[in-house]
Structure 1
Amino acid sequence: MNGTKQVRVDLWTSVNGLTDGQLNQAVEEGRWNIAQVMEHVYRMEAIIVRSLESVLANPEDRPTEKKPYELTLDRSRKVDAPEGLTPPTHFMSLEELKQRLNSSREALTSLLAKYDEETLARKSYPHPVFGLMDGNQWVDFIGVHEKRHIAQIEEVKESVLANAPQ
């Protein structure tokens, strides 16, 4: 969880100083703006927490081997967001996004306070690309996924700032 916590700090650093307008500025047709990337990160974390809650409530144990989910960081591998995780196109303020991201992180922290790593290691559910992953892998994946999208935010931010009036 420590790595996942640090990645969230990195996310806040990445968007620090940007205006709501800059967060919502489109830089390329068909490409998400920064606010949409942040909303997607929120939605992913929230659905993982809900899924973990469900699998942890099930008495069945399903241990699994380690999956190569770190490949998520390879941005040359394009994966479309699953249904329900695609962000809306409407304007979103930084304050609204912070509240949403803080709420999903609080839900994750609360969930992890109830279970130890051994329990998480016995409870698994499938990732659409990597297959069956246990709870510990899913928690780590949250940070890896967020890190991938911080790189995306940095790319979009570069374009936004390059096109800003001087």
Structure 2
Amino acid sequence: MTTAQEMLGRFGDAENCLKHLERSRRELLHFVESLSDEQLLHRPGVEVWSPAEVLEHISRVEESAGKIIRRLRKVALGEADPFPPSPAGQTRPDGRPLAPPLMYPKGELSRSEVLERLQAMRMRVLTEVAESGERLPHPPTYGHPFFGDLTALGWLQTLVYHERHHLRQIQERLKE
């Protein structure tokens, strides 16, 4: 296991990941409730996403991970072909990971629309996890742009990391 995969492993099995996701989503929604529409939609810089855009990004990542979890299950069952190799992730000049362009927010969603999208994508992930059941931690794998080859459980673990990371990011930006 690589260091990145060991870091993800601290989130544990699917049951533990789901508890983490439930807690982080509750914290995220509670924090968003405290923001005015102006704070939620304000971009602090030209190249910096607004909190609403970060929420849309989280939902796009969850949508993608849910599809990957489903495809890994289908590959394991012989119902789909394995994935082609995934492209390597890009980083900023300071070394921080850069989201793939497909995960960029469009920035056109209202508060209610972004919250509805977050809920819908979370429900999709939960369905895929439930349907994967015991297969979740087992091969096949698919390469994550920054964490390497991951099982479906690994992809679920990335969602725990991802949401927590962006919640802290939004909170820190609003303190500035």
Give the TM-score category using the shorter length.
0.7 to 0.9
RMSD value over aligned CA atoms?
1.8
Structure 2: 5+ residue stretches without partners: 1-17, 79-93
Distance in 1, Cα, partners of 2:127 & 2:72: 16
Match of 2:67 among 35, 38, 50: 50
- SS of the equivalent of 2:64 reads helix
Higher relative contact order (CA 8 A, sep 6+): 1
Q: Which of structure 1's runs of 4+ aligned residues deviate more than 3 A?
A: none
Distance in 2, Cα, partners of 1:119 & 1:52: 10
Alignment partner, residue 140 of structure 1: 157
Alignment partner, residue 82 of structure 2: none
For normalisation by structure 1, the TM-score amounts to 0.79
Distance in 1, Cα, partners of 2:172 & 2:46: 15
Tell me if structure 1 keeps the 8 A contact 2:70–2:132: no
The residue type paired with residue 59 of structure 1 is A
Distance in 2, Cα, partners of 1:135 & 1:59: 11
Tell me if structure 2 keeps the 8 A contact 1:46–1:104: yes
Please state if 1:32 is matched with 2:49.
yes
For normalisation by structure 2, the TM-score amounts to 0.75
Amino-acid identity (%):
26
Structure 1: 5+ residue stretches without partners: 62-75, 160-166
Alignment partner, residue 120 of structure 1: 136
Alignment partner, residue 109 of structure 1: 126
Corresponding residue pairs, total: 143
